[in-house]
Structure 1
Amino acid sequence: MSELVWDLGGRKPKPLKSISYSGCWTCRKRRIKCDERPGACRTCEQAKLTCAGYDVRLIWNAGPNTSRRRIRSGYKVACAPMTDDEVARALTTVEKSAIDPAVTTTVGPFSVFQSQPDLENATADNDSSVDSTSNASPSLIDSSIQLGGCLDTDPIDTSPAPESPEQTQLHDDTNIEIIGNGLPRSSPHSSSSSDTHEIASIAETDVVVSHSPRWPARTNSPPEDVEFILFEHDLASSMIEDTTASMLMHHYMQHVVHLMQPVSHSRNPWKTVYLPLALEGSSQLDVQRRFPSASVAVFHSVLSIAAVNLQSMRTDQEALKQLACHHKQRALVALQSALAAKSTPYKDIMTAILSLVSADIMDGGMSDHWIHLEAGIKLQASRHYSMLVSRETCLLNNICKMLHLFGQTTLPVLTPKPWPGYDHVPRGADFYSLEPSIEFLYGITTSIAGAIFKIYRLSQYVAYYRDQSPRPEQEFPATLLQACEELADALGSYTITSESFSSISPTEAEGHMVDIARAQAKAFHNAALIYYYRSIQQCSRDCLYQEQRAVLDAMNEAEELKVKASSTTGNTGPGSASASSQTQSSFPAPITWPAFVASCEAVGEERQAWDGWWRRVQGYGMRNYGQQYATVCRIWERMDENESGDWREVLADLGVRILPV
């Protein structure tokens, strides 16, 4: 029988060698049969080759040829590589967070969960949660807080699929009322894909900030700042995967923290108090709690602040404005829930309240700051203005007290009070007992702060007797007149050289920061003189030219010192030649109370000089500056129509409340 031929050429195909999957490694490599003799095979011996043996070979997945073996599904990494210290810290956080055994707690790659959940209890919890949600909704709607244009904006859909509402029951049995209005119920830590695509392009721009070694907290920050800056391991995994939230947090740490006070300092509370608590709040987003902690409120406030500041630099990104409103509303919900829990530490509650004030300041400072400040004052009173507290709590109390003072001195309507026979100082309002930290927090000394508050008190007493009767023979109490004269003597004899600025030591701040603080304090002193002569003595605006010029020179001096300090590295700030092209400034932003008070009382050429200063500071990206500048311009227009009027009357007509910081 003829042989069967398979190929068309009539040639018999060459048989393929089979691959040996057993035997020694040398025979496997040669693709020949091995006799598998123990020790060393005879096949290799006959070929005069070294037998590689039969041991199991381990392959390490570290070379370029094995890179594809490590490819995971998806494009996001749930957790970055961690050091031993970070692993230990994460495990400690998990153990502390696992309060409720029925709740899964996740920190990085570690989780704690119940091995055998009770189905009956879980069902009961779900039923009660639904009831609490339905009960909580009316309290959110019946609110007295106005968020400007935020509440008219549709809530941002921050999840790809519908989720259940927050299961939070809110109580009204607290004397501090901070209630949101129409607040959204979407996921607290995720963002919509459309917003992410719109905002993702900003991340690269945000990274391009001034990298001057003369200004702290840059990419070359000292080692002691690492625990606050390296947030990749502190944030929850869901936060890391949220590109928008991570970008906003990065912008806050690299840029915003330096804007919130006029002097760079190692004890910057927006970095040492607000930021760590916000990072802690990010890890609470994945934990289902009945009452969210105050740290969650701080986290959302920080993101709102960053979004507003970034949107002021990138006006074409409308999604950032909506995102800022969204996070501000969520901060209100979280804070109200934390107050209802009645177990939140004082420091955390005060930080959450003041973070909402900061969010309003960054957004314009005309929406609801006074409500939060009153809540902060009530919170201090509930502790009877305790003095023996931690350094962080002392900083927060000073911030609350100073912001409340700035807000009171610019109230549209002054509340008259009868003279009690002596200058009565309410408990908790003794500004001479303030910690010197206000020197770097606001660029003001304790003596000047006390004088400003005394001017405010005496102006209330003077207004009471001026309103009693229009008759010129109406006399003021002799002791009140004596108090007014003594205050004028104290203001006139004050010199800035008597201040040591002990809180701004070379170990905690750079040398030129003392000069910046001194310039800011000089502006406060001369603005206090203007405030005194106009509020109590009712002097003519035209005769205050010397004080006007002193305030303007001091405010400009502070800005020039910042530019001079950074000139060695080529950085530019607001007011320099390239300020129009570089709006992202890493300089500490000035406190505007002296400028606002002096601008409102300015006349003639002084207004032109102040107009230039207000335009100069717009480069900081603080919307509060823009709102104050617009308000000053409207006051000037009204004062031209009625020169005998007062700028507070204009504020009352406009329905505006200013927080000049």
Structure 2
Amino acid sequence: MPRRSSNKRSMTYKGCWTCKRRKVKCDEKPTRCGNCTRLRLECEGYGVRLHWTTDSFSTKSESSSLQNRGRMNIDPESYPVYPMNDIDRFIASIDRDSHAKKASQHGPFNLLLLPLIQKELHNDSDTIIEVEHHIEGSHCTSLSVSSTSSSSTPDHELEATFQAVVADTGHAPEVFPPDSPVHNLSDGDLNLVQVVTEDYQEEENDTAENGEEVQEHVDIENAASPQKSTSTTLCSGGLSAFCLQRYVASSLSGDPEIDMLLHHYIINLADLLQAVHHPQNPYRQLYAPAALESVSGTALSTPASFSPKSIINTAIYHSILAASAFHMWQSNPLQRAFHHVASQHRQKALFFLQTALDTMRPGAEYRLLLIAMLSLVTVDVMSGAEADFTVHLHATLQLRRSRRHWKVVSPATQQLNEISEFLTLLARTLSFHPSSPLWCADHGDGKGNGNDDVPLAQGSNQCLGYMYGITITIANAIKETCRLAETITCIEERQNEALPEWLRQACEDLGDLLLSWTLDEAEVNSIANEEMRAVFKHHAHAWHHAALIYYCRRVQKVPSSELSEEASIVAEHMHAVETLKATSRSEQASRMAPITWPAFIASCDAIDRDVWMDWWERVKHYKIANIPRQYDVVRELWEIIDEKTQSGDCSIDWITVYKELDITLLPI
């Protein structure tokens, strides 16, 4: 009987190639075989050797020896492990090489080029509009706007690496590779002549103190022709301060740098600028759509569309880009190109806004003008500009006065009016000067004839709660404190004049209101999210106790030593806000920066300074330039107060020192 033929069982070998060739058992130690190490042999590793099965020159023996290698034990420690910074750098390099259209390999990532069929963009409007305009104080009087689209911009979806801010930032490596500096960034479809003012020249000179060459002007001849490609990208590096996101979207402007700045503003800054997360976010609901209307190509595309509305939209567009670039520069100060790009866009925003104001009818485009002015205030907060915000807030005040008798307006306009009025109030709290001669007028209630000190309107639509974490009652109390303090100052300057009875009664009534205040549950319940309600509660209580400190110092002249308990309560609530956000599972909660007015007022009067030093250091990670600047002012006040106290002047207080320093600050 013939012997039954048995099928041979295929064998799979999982050891290193050296042990396989020696026909010994391998211990399969990751990275390097232990047998090879002990015998001092060169280990050939565990890699899979690919074999072309269609190669006509390969022999059967060669093929059979390389079979069944697919069942190897894939151990992650058997291969190189890269840190996240390197992974970010690899991905950014691949993105950069893809824009440069060249094959490359970075770490485990490879870029292979395939022929692509790209549709050419056509723009029916190739009109070049030249506007001759003179701006007072400016060295540039001409503007050249070209609406010709770049022919090198494809119409297909591009893959860009965008960057989202995380709360805790560490060391940030370079964003721009040494071989691709950013000399001049185009503005999509807008080829603009840089407006250079005297203030901008001074700022650029200051940034070059460390011997770094900073370009001050945009060369007209080099201003981004349609054939020029903007291959360098702002997102080309691996910032550890940023969490890289793979984001696939159609290009809005045809320029990856502009798209990245817009994305950073809409996704990150819109949340960063709000105290409490809320769907009625004006930065995302009002500012961004106006800017995107300019990016869409409908603005400034034909002479007929060169209207005030289009010009204002373009001003908002550049303001948003400037704010975004300033924030990215604060996140990575070594990259001065961010600062240069931000300064360029800020000057363009100022130019377009001034152009709109000079060419439009009074009273037209009220809402857009208010957005443009407030967006410039945001730029000042992000850049830490010392006095620029006062000009823009004064402009919003003049604009609101033009419609002071309007009672029925849209919710969006009401929201913008409230934001403008409250920011003006915050600036007023640190002016320490009567805002109008009407304060000294002999009115029965001490109020002037104007509408500037009408209490903020109560209502379910008011936005101060989610925008700044303050209740309407406390906001009106702070406004009344300013009014009474300025009236007292005006009367005291007359000398030998007693305070009138109505003024004394008003001061007492305001103190009673602040001492008896409790948080209204209706205002708390207006915020849907439970976590955000907790954040709002701490903000509201911090505002209340800081307002009480401010009232006691400005109206009642209470010594700082008597207010240490109130300052400690403010610190407790401000720290609690940061702790809630740090422990939150919501990414949006961790991105929201605090409103600093309560902390600033309490810090200046604090006896226990360590808790405030910790808080100011804690909030630096938001990378808003206005925050460390406030901390610098607080420390300067402390230093001067200590020096004068040691010299025997025990009556000195921070308000007196602040006025002597002649500081202009927006405590937000």
Give the TM-score normalised by structure 2: 0.65
Give the partner amino acid of 2:562. Answer: C
Distance 2:401 2:578 in 1: 37
Residue in structure 2 matched with residue 282 of structure 1 by the alignment: 295
Residue in structure 2 matched with residue 150 of structure 1 by the alignment: none
Indicate yes or no: 2:370 matched with 1:350: yes
Matched residue SS, 1:208:
strand
Deviation at 1:326, TM superposition (A): 0.7
Distance 1:616 1:436 in 2: 30
Deviation at 1:369, TM superposition (A): 0.3
Indicate yes or no: 2:592 matched with 1:601: no
Residue in structure 1 matched with residue 582 of structure 2 by the alignment: 563
The answer to whether the 8 A contact 1:140-1:181 is kept is no
Indicate which of 487, 490, 515 corresponds to 1:464: 490
Give the partner amino acid of 1:324. Answer: A
Residue in structure 2 matched with residue 140 of structure 1 by the alignment: 138
Identity %: 30
Indicate yes or no: 2:283 matched with 1:263: no
CA RMSD of aligned residues (A): 3.7
Give the partner amino acid of 1:504. Answer: S
Deviation at 1:504, TM superposition (A): 3.4
Residue in structure 1 matched with residue 567 of structure 2 by the alignment: 548
Deviation at 1:71, TM superposition (A): 3.3
Deviation at 1:655, TM superposition (A): 3.4
Indicate yes or no: 2:546 matched with 1:527: yes
The answer to whether the 8 A contact 2:464-2:472 is kept is yes
Deviation at 1:491, TM superposition (A): 0.8
Indicate which of 634, 641, 658 corresponds to 1:651: 658
User: How many residues are aligned here?
Assistant: 479
Distance 1:167 1:630 in 2: 32
Distance 2:217 2:408 in 1: 39
Mark the CA change 1:544 to 1:113 in structure 2 (over 3 Å): closer, same or farther. closer
Deviation at 1:464, TM superposition (A): 1.9
Give the partner amino acid of 1:588. Answer: M
Residue in structure 1 matched with residue 335 of structure 2 by the alignment: 317
The answer to whether the 8 A contact 2:192-2:223 is kept is no
Residue in structure 2 matched with residue 373 of structure 1 by the alignment: 393
Mark the CA change 1:591 to 1:543 in structure 2 (over 3 Å): closer, same or farther. same
Name the larger-Rg structure.
Answer: 1
Residue in structure 1 matched with residue 212 of structure 2 by the alignment: none
Matched residue SS, 1:660:
coil
Deviation at 1:194, TM superposition (A): 11
Q: Compare relative contact order (CA 8 Å, sep 6+) and give the higher one, 1 or 2.
A: 1
Indicate yes or no: 2:117 matched with 1:71: yes
Mark the CA change 1:196 to 1:552 in structure 2 (over 3 Å): closer, same or farther. farther
Distance 1:269 1:259 in 2: 12
Indicate yes or no: 2:516 matched with 1:493: yes
Gaps of 5+ in 1: 1-66, 79-108, 115-121, 144-154, 169-177, 212-217, 220-229, 574-584
The answer to whether the 8 A contact 2:383-2:626 is kept is yes
Residue in structure 2 matched with residue 17 of structure 1 by the alignment: none
Matched residue SS, 1:420:
coil
Matched residue SS, 1:596:
helix
Deviation at 1:319, TM superposition (A): 0.5
Matched residue SS, 2:353:
helix
Distance 1:627 1:532 in 2: 24
Distance 2:272 2:371 in 1: 18
Distance 1:293 1:386 in 2: 26
Distance 1:279 1:430 in 2: 35
Deviation at 1:140, TM superposition (A): 2.5
Indicate yes or no: 2:310 matched with 1:297: no
Distance 1:195 1:411 in 2: 45
Give the TM-score normalised by structure 1: 0.65
Indicate yes or no: 2:556 matched with 1:537: yes
Distance 2:122 2:192 in 1: 26
Deviation at 1:200, TM superposition (A): 3.6
Deviation at 1:475, TM superposition (A): 2.1
Deviation at 1:453, TM superposition (A): 0.3
Mark the CA change 1:272 to 1:467 in structure 2 (over 3 Å): closer, same or farther. same
Distance 2:260 2:370 in 1: 26
Deviation at 1:270, TM superposition (A): 0.6
Deviation at 1:382, TM superposition (A): 0.9
Deviation at 1:138, TM superposition (A): 5.5
Deviation at 1:645, TM superposition (A): 2.9
Residue in structure 2 matched with residue 172 of structure 1 by the alignment: none
Give the partner amino acid of 2:538. Answer: A
Deviation at 1:461, TM superposition (A): 1.1
Matched residue SS, 1:140:
coil
Gaps of 5+ in 2: 1-112, 142-181, 202-215, 646-650
Indicate yes or no: 2:637 matched with 1:635: yes
Residue in structure 2 matched with residue 409 of structure 1 by the alignment: 429
Matched residue SS, 2:595:
coil
Give the partner amino acid of 2:640. Answer: R
Mark the CA change 1:282 to 1:649 in structure 2 (over 3 Å): closer, same or farther. farther
Residue in structure 2 matched with residue 478 of structure 1 by the alignment: 501
